[in-house]
Amino acid sequence: MFKDSFKYYKSRDPPPDLDAVIDLKNPDLSKVRKISPVAIEEEQSSLGLRSTEDWNIYEIIAKPGLIFIENPFTSAGQRYWITRCVKDYSKKPNKTNLDLHQVLSENENWWDVCSDNVERAKVLLPKLRWATLGYHHNWDTKVYSENFKGEMPDDMVDLTEYLARISGLCHFKAESAIINYYRMNSTLSGHTDKSEIDYEAPLFSVSFGQTGIFLVGGLSLEDSADALLLRSGDVVVMSKGSRLRYHGVPKILQADSMPWKNQNSTNDCKSKKMCIDWDKIMSYISESRVNMNVRQVLRPGQVSLDDKVL
Ligand SMILES: O=C(O)CCC(=O)C(=O)O
């Protein structure tokens, strides 16, 4: 049962045995099958991605539609997306959990305050838990509204549309995102994502920083669950029969490598200020995991939630 597995992997004392965790760096081909990336003419180096010839894409055999892309990002690409998640997507007018706690004044942004003020950073850094973009997730009603909606960033729209095409999933338009910020002791309990209108459209979950144990079960909490290791850059796609599976994150583990810190990559900070900023972001990510969870809300052709096109 999902809850039992969650409790098992969450435990600190005794710590869980990780032997049964699916690690797609060493894929067990009796459990996963390799999928070839769909050939697409244009390369997307501007999205921080490696050439698709080098990608490893797998489908979990027992969970059709549950697709895993092993880190398709370059080292510079990891730095780009980590910076976007930490510094930019956490900014107003995007919504964050901090809005409810009144720990920032109206014109203050979490990252700017944390990078300028050591004392406030100690308190504020661990407090950010989520930011929402596009159609904002309503944590109480779970219902999207045209009156509670912001912009979706073009880069996130382009990245997820590209990932959908390469994975052979026809249409996808990013219309809503949750950025999850985890510290080493954070968890995300089991849930399904069913606020969206179109379950035919996949859901993209892109992780950076420290490693997460991702638990994915069935359509009911009574079903058994599999645990997968998600390292920095790994992408999970929940599509088709796996779109509505229960899933959660019972544990964050210290990363066994830091692909965002590749020594061979050319230094991409263009000014001293950018380098100082990146050092601070690196320090944050050394004890955090961030996850971009991107969804399509509307059916193809539907322009708003009020548009009743079927
Ligand atoms: O952090 C993750 O890997 C999963 C996040 C998630 O399930 C969600 O935002 O709904």
Ligand 1 atom closest to 178 (CA): 9
Tell me if 180 CB under 6 Å of ligand 1: yes
Query: Residue 306: inside a domain, yes or no?
Result: no
Residue 272 CA to ligand 1 center (angstroms) comes to 34
Query: Residue 216: inside a domain, yes or no?
Result: yes
User: Residue 137 annotated as binding?
Assistant: no
**Residue 244: per-residue pLDDT:** 97
Ligand 1 atom closest to 130 (CA): 9
**Residue 266: per-residue pLDDT:** 52
Tell me if 188 CB under 6 Å of ligand 1: yes
Ligand 1 atom closest to 203 (CA): 10
Query: Residue 165: inside a domain, yes or no?
Result: yes
Residue 180 CA to ligand 1 center (angstroms) comes to 7
Residues of the chain with pLDDT under 50: none
**Residue 64: per-residue pLDDT:** 97
Whether 122 and 65 have beta carbons less than 8 Å apart is answered as no
Tell me if 291 CB under 6 Å of ligand 1: yes
What are 181's strand-pairing partners? 290
CA 173 remoteness from chain centre: 16
* Cβ count near 293 (within 10 Å): 21
**Residue 267: per-residue pLDDT:** 58
What are 57's strand-pairing partners? 35, 69
Contacts of 290 (CB under 8 A, 6+ apart): 82, 85, 86, 179, 180, 181, 182, 207, 208, 209
Pocket test for ligand 1, best of 139, 179, 188, 196 (most atoms within 8 A of CB): 188
User: Residue 28 annotated as binding?
Assistant: no
CA atoms within 13 A on the CB side of 96: 28
**Residue 264: per-residue pLDDT:** 58
pLDDT digits (tens, 9 = 90+) for 30-76: 999 999 989 887 767 789 999 999 999 999 999 999 999 999 999 99
Query: Residue 65: inside a domain, yes or no?
Result: yes
User: Whose Cα sits closest to atom 8 in ligand 1?
Assistant: 293
Query: Residue 309: inside a domain, yes or no?
Result: no
User: Whose Cα sits closest to atom 2 in ligand 1?
Assistant: 291
Tell me if 83 CB under 6 Å of ligand 1: no
Q: Give the CATH number, domain containing residue 112.
A: 2.60.120.590
Residue 218 CA to ligand 1 center (angstroms) comes to 16
C-alpha to C-alpha distance for 206 and 212, rounded to whole angstroms? 11
Contacts of 73 (CB under 8 A, 6+ apart): 48, 49, 50, 81, 233, 259
**Residue 211: per-residue pLDDT:** 98
pLDDT digits (tens, 9 = 90+) for 159-188: 999 999 999 997 899 999 999 999 999 999
Domain range for residue 177? 2-295
Query: Residue 21: inside a domain, yes or no?
Result: yes
Query: Residue 300: inside a domain, yes or no?
Result: no
Whether 207 and 137 have beta carbons less than 8 Å apart is answered as no
DSSP 8-class letter at 88? I
Pocket test for ligand 1, best of 203, 251, 293 (most atoms within 8 A of CB): 293
Whether 208 and 157 have beta carbons less than 8 Å apart is answered as no
Pocket test for ligand 1, best of 180, 192, 206, 234 (most atoms within 8 A of CB): 180
CA 112 remoteness from chain centre: 22
Residue 275 CA to ligand 1 center (angstroms) comes to 30
Residue 121 CA to ligand 1 center (angstroms) comes to 25
Residues in the chain: 310
Query: Residue 48: inside a domain, yes or no?
Result: yes
Number of domains present in the structure of the chain:
1
Tell me if 235 CB under 6 Å of ligand 1: no
